A and B are shown apart, each in its own frame.
Chain A
Amino acid sequence: MGHAAIAEHDQHHHVEHSYTGIPNKKVLMWAFLASDCMFFGTLISTYIIYHGKSLVGPYPVEVLSIPVTTASSFVLLMSSLFMALAVAAVNRKDIGQTRLWIFATAFFGLIFLGFQSFEFTEFFHRGVTLQKNLFGSTFYTMTGTHGLHVAIGVLWLFSWFVYSYFGDISDKAVDIESTGLYWHFVDIVWIVIFTVIYLVEFVGIGG
């Protein structure tokens, strides 16, 4: 049985089992992201509630760096573009392009994580620790959770990259689209964090 026939069989199989016609895995991912919104909502709310409540420094305005984070945010946003290209490629069953853009997405995700490690190290040397004050506790827990999401995404993408050499990735359009949904969501969360935590901090300061 050829690949086309297999794909057709699979597709038939899917339609059979989906009342709405939307693949189960995509509905699952959307529902998970709704749940994840509440995770990040709680984390970001905690940061906002505790903003300005730290009893001792360093305070956010002393350590947050807009230029560095703008660069890392740009990298993360570009990775979303690559992810979209990967999904487009897998939908045309273009294995080479799929592989390329998945790798690019994961690689840019890694660069973002590099920026984050740099930021954490830098902050640590300037005295911001988890134990130091409320800013440290809320900042590291929130951005750490986001970083963990990015790291899981990178691992997932690299797994697809390796898989593309052993299995038939052109069959996995729905799965890769689900990975893509996750990846875009993690990026959108970062836009909120970048705005609320980094940019708003400097409103009226002109920093």
Chain B
Amino acid sequence: MATSADVIGVASPAHGHSDTDRELGVLGPRPVAKTGLWSWLTTVDHKRIGILYGLSALFFLVVGGVEALLVRLQLAAPNLSVLPADIYNQMFTMHATTMIFLAIMPLSSAFFNYLVPLMIGARDVAFPRLNAFSLWVFWAGAALLNVSWLTGSAPNASWVGYANITSKQFNPGLSADYWVMGLLVLGVASVAASLNFFVTIINMRAPGMTLMRLPVFVWMTFITNILILLAFPPITIALIQLMMDRMFGANFFNVAAGGLVILWQHWFWIFGHPEVYILILPAMGVVSEILPTFSRKPLFGYPLIVFSGAFIGFMGFAVWSHHMFTTGMGVIATLAFSITTSIIAVPTGVKIFNWIGTMWGGHIRFATPMLYATGFIAMFTIGGFSGVMHSAAAADAQQHDTYFVVAHFHYVLIGGTLMALLGGLAYWFPKITGRMMNEAFGKVAFWTIMIGFNVTFFPMHILGLNGMPRRIYTYSGDMGWNFWNLVCTIGAFVLAFGLLFFFINMAMGLKKGAIAGDDPWDARTLEWSIPSPPPEYNFAAIPTVTHLDDFWHSKITGKPKPQYDGHPIHMPAASYYPMVVGIGMFVWAMGMIYKDAPGGFLIAGAGMLALIFGVYGWALEGPGGYHVDPSKESGAHN
């Protein structure tokens, strides 16, 4: 991070567009701290926001992991009561909700934030304060979901929250209310972030960075964000309908008034299936960056990988009812969704063959990131095979709601997404921190994770085919499930140790890792052309892009580096208001959850007022800014 920035201030007379900022500076001074806690809480720097997303995601990965271990302990042997049954329901519900919304999605978001501007040759995202807003609203939603533990009413109706398990009648108390408000708030964060990255990728690209020269990770981010924009509204409306039912007595999912509980399933999966691709596409992007670097070859079939990603995104909206084959939709619907589900396997297979093609004949170096990338291909393929099995509706009817499905989506989510994202962490750790992680220890961590993961989840295929249902509290000892359940639980602890090794390696690398330099992996994309860690303005001189993998190309051809032109660089100013809006939203949501308690509506109103105040303060203070002169920076590049 830059330390000696030349802060000119908000109202610099030398720069005309600051005049309006001075005029409306009635709302008090803007934060100017460059170091310390406040500088992080008010930051609008995409790199710092990315780091905060990443640390939050890793924290919740641990939280969700502990929840998983407790679930596994309860299931280790028949008829255990490690947890009371109602706590067990909360535990598996919060495990899934935490892992999906608070660990994997924000970990992807961390990469979006940190990498997209660097990869497209930009100095920041299109809307830096909106970016900080997304982070704060994400924190608000994460806090809402987890505060529920303290009140003894954590969400308990599973992550799909099927009606009418969530109805006031069958789920009294506040569990479902915390779930509804938490997810609503998290939805706001996701949509705001996606709008930002959509605009950033369209408009903030460096000269010459045409769409077909974008790194695949940026492409997958782009597609993911379009999916978020289009898939989150249905779940948001469904959550609002559920909220109207629970809080105001509406009848959306009230069977006694003619409501259809199946409607919830449709809304949920119209969101839920694109969500699956929201979780996996960024991982595919990460792998598409790692493989060429460590195979020392260009990505095989770049356009095919890009179009396959787009096609997966498109088809992702056409397969949702394969989650509902057992609901009796009728032959035509079942057939249609069987066919679309089979079709969506094709672009996925195309990608896998392209990744293999990338490695084929390459000078492969099995550094830690490459291990994760190849591990991803193998594990994701297994998850893909068990996934496409579900497109056969008759077979799916047997597998539905069994541990076979649990095995399938953990192979995709851990063996796929998490494996790739851990690889991404290992790959970009030197860029983010300026230091290397230990390779030997990294490999130990990888193999521990790999073995632990397979020992945990492969037996679940067998358990599922032997009829063990999902979400059951315990089971009888004569079902033939005892042995494999014990194996799964042992595997879960091995996996946990593997992740612990990974985290220890990160901490050690941060403290005393070897200095990385700009380009430790001999990589291909623009982020490796600048110092590690990058200065706050990223690029002293904005590069002009002429090729796919432009940095790689310039290393080979000796294309001269862009030269800094001497103009001070305009940076967006930090702001308090994203934090104000985020806190306002948290208070509002808490007030809504407790609206029937004395003062509940008052609290909600106060939160709404804080939110409105924050929005106006935000609008009136303007983007602001200050100027940095890279030639005065210590360690100036170029």
Chain A residues in the interface with B (C-beta under 8 A): 1, 5-6, 9-10, 13, 17-20, 22, 24, 27-28, 31-32, 34-36, 38-39, 41-43, 46, 49-50, 53-55, 130-131, 133-134, 136-138, 140-141, 145, 159, 166-168, 171
Check if B267 is an interface residue, CB within 8 A of chain A: yes
Please tell me if the beta carbons of A17 and B233 are within 8 angstroms of each other in the complex.
no
Cβ of A46 and Cβ of B241 under 8 Å apart? Answer: yes
5 contacts between A and B (CB under 8 A): A1-B19, A19-B209, A31-B194, A35-B232, A167-B23
Q: Report if B555 contacts A (CB, 8 A).
A: no
B157 CB to nearest chain A CB (Å): 21
B203 interface residue per 8 A CB criterion = yes
Q: Are B249 and A43 in contact (CB under 8 A)?
A: no
On chain A, the residues within 8 Å of B194 by CB distance are 31
| A38 and B204 contacting across the interface, CB-CB below 8 Å | no
Neighbouring B residues of A31 by C-beta, 8 Å: 194-195, 198-199, 229
Contact A130 B195 (CB under 8 A): no
Q: How many residues of B contact A (CB 8 A)?
A: 47
Would you call A137 and B252 a contact (CB within 8 A)?
Answer: yes
Pair A141/B240 contact, Cβ less than 8 Å: yes
Tell me the bound Cα distance from A20 to B307 in angstroms. 21
CB distance from A48 to the nearest CB of B (A): 11
CB of B507 closer than 8 Å to a CB of A: no
- Bound state CA distance, A35 and B188, in angstroms? 12
Measured CB to CB, the closest approach of chain A to B16, in angstroms, equals: 4
Q: CB-nearest residue of chain B relative to A8?
A: B16
Task: Please tell me if the beta carbons of A133 and B251 are within 8 angstroms of each other in the complex.
Answer: yes
- A-contacting 9-mer, from B256-264, B465-473, B530-538: B256-264
A6 touches B16 (CB 8 A): yes
Residue contact B233 to A39, C-beta cutoff 8 Å: yes
Partner of B16, one of A9, A50, A131: A9
If A9-B16, A19-B209, A171-B20 touch, whether A46 touches B237 (CB-CB below 8 Å) is yes
Question: How far is it, in angstroms, between the C-alpha of A27 and the C-alpha of B127 when the chains are bound?
Answer: 12
Are A42 and B237 in contact (CB-based, < 8 A)?
yes
Q: In the assembled complex, which residues on chain A have CB atoms less than 8 Å from the CB atom of B20? A: 167-168, 171
For B17, give its contact among A13, A19, A46 (CB under 8 Å): A13
> B244 an interface residue at 8 Å Cβ cutoff?
yes
Cβ-closest 7 pairs across A and B: A38-B233, A42-B237, A137-B250, A131-B249, A6-B16, A39-B233, A1-B16
Q: Are B204 and A46 in contact (CB under 8 A)?
A: no
CB of B205 within 8 Å of the partner chain = yes
**Which residue from chain B places its CB closest to the CB of A12 in the assembled complex?**
B17
8 Å CB contact of A19 from B203, B233, B251, B263: B203
> Are A28 and B195 within 8 A (Cβ)?
yes
Distance of A6 Cα from B622 Cα, bound (Å): 15
Interface of A is mostly: helix
- A22–B233 touching, CB < 8 Å: no
Q: Flag if A32 contacts B195 (CB, 8 Å).
A: yes
B237: chain A residues within 8 A (beta carbon) = 39, 42-43, 46
Which residues on the A side are within 8 Å of B336 (C-beta)?
Answer: none
Give CA–CA (A205, B20) in the complex, Å: 59
Interface membership of B236, Cβ < 8 A: yes
Residues on A with beta carbons closer than 8 Å to the beta carbon of B245: 137
- Interface Cβ pair total, 8 Å cutoff: 129
Contacts of B263 in A (CB 8 A): 46, 49
In the bound complex, how far is the Cα of B230 from the Cα of A159, in angstroms?
Answer: 29
Q: With A20-B203, A137-B251 known to touch, is A38 a contact of B234 (CB < 8 Å)? A: yes
Q: How far is the CB of A139 from chain B (nearest CB, A)?
A: 11
- Asked whether B24 is an interface residue with its Cβ less than 8 Å from the other chain, the reply is yes
- In the complex, how many angstroms separate the beta carbon of B208 from the nearest chain A beta carbon? 10
| Chain B 1-25 interface mask (CB, 8 Å, partner A; 1/0) | 0000000000000011101100110
Most buried by A among B199, B245, B252, B619: B199
A31-B199, A36-B233, A141-B250 in contact; A54/B204 too (CB < 8 A)?
Answer: no
Residues of B within 8 A of A168 (CB): 20
Q: Which residue on A lies nearest to B237, using beta carbons?
A: A42
B229 touches A34 (CB 8 A): yes
Of chain B, the residue at the smallest CB distance from A52 is B258
A77 to B364, CA, bound (A): 64
B238 within 8 A of A: yes
Q: How distant is the Cα of A138 from the Cα of B252 in the complex, in angstroms?
A: 7
> Is the CB–CB distance between B19 and A6 below 8 Å?
yes
Interface residues in B468-499 by Cβ distance below 8 A to A read none
Query: Contact partner of B203 among A17, A42, A46, A159, CB < 8 A?
Result: A17
* A111 shortest CB reach to chain B, Å: 23
- B24 contacts across to A, CB distance below 8 A: 166-167
Determine whether B191 belongs to the interface, using a CB cutoff of 8 Å to chain A.
yes
- Choose one: A35, A53, A171; the contact of B229 (CB below 8 Å): A35
What chain A residues lie within 8 Å of B170 (beta carbons)?
Answer: none
Residues of A within 8 A of B259 (CB): 50, 134, 137
Q: Among A5, A54, A130, find the residue whose CB has the most chain B CB atoms closer than 10 A.
A: A130
Q: How many Å from the CB of A17 to the closest CB on chain B? A: 7
Is the beta-carbon distance between A27 and B244 smaller than 8 angstroms? no
Residues of chain B within 8 A (CB-CB) of A6 are 16-17, 19
Chain B residues 204-250 with CB under 8 Å of chain A are: 204-205, 209, 229-234, 236-238, 240-241, 244-245, 248-250
In the complex, the answer to whether B252 meets A46 with C-beta atoms within 8 Å is yes
A contact residues around B229 at 8 Å (CB) = 31, 34-35, 38
Nearest residue, chain B, Cβ from A1: B16
**Residue contact B244 to A19, C-beta cutoff 8 Å:** no
B242-293 interface with A by 8 A CB criterion: 244-245, 248-252, 257-260, 263, 267
Asked if residues B257 and A55 are in contact (CB atoms below 8 Å), the reply is: yes
Partner of A134, one of B127, B191, B209, B258: B258
Are B23 and A19 closer than 8 Å at their CB atoms?
A: no
B251 to A, closest residue via Cβ: A137
A42-B267, A141-B240 known; A131 vs B19 contact (CB < 8 Å) = no
State whether B244 touches A137 (Cβ < 8 A).
yes
Bound Cα distance A5, B15 (Å): 10
A141/B203 contact (C-beta < 8 A), A27-B198, A38-B233, A42-B267 known: no
Report how far A1 CA is from B241 CA in the complex, Å. Answer: 53
Chain A nearest CB, measured from B322 CB (Å): 20
Q: Does B33 contact A (CB under 8 A)?
A: no
Residues A35 and B202 in contact, CB atoms below 8 Å apart: no
Q: Does B91 contact A (CB under 8 A)?
A: no
Chain A residue at smallest Cβ distance from B240: A141
For A10, what are the chain B residues with a Cβ–Cβ distance below 8 Å? 16-17
Cβ distance A152 to chain B, nearest Cβ, rounded Å = 10
Expressed in whole angstroms, the minimum distance between the Cβ of B314 and any Cβ of chain A is: 14
A41 proximity list for chain B (CB < 8 A) = 233
> Does B583 sit at the interface, judged by CB under 8 A?
no
- CB-CB under 8 A from B251, the residues of chain A are 131, 133-134, 136-137
Judge whether B315 is part of the interface by a CB distance below 8 angstroms.
Answer: no
Q: In the complex, what distance in Å separates the CA atom of A131 from the CA atom of B252?
A: 10
Cβ 8 A contact of A42, one of B127, B234, B258, B260: B234
Whether, in the assembled complex, B174 has its beta carbon less than 8 Å from a beta carbon of chain A, the answer is: no
A38 in contact with B230 given A1-B19, A55-B257 (CB within 8 Å): yes
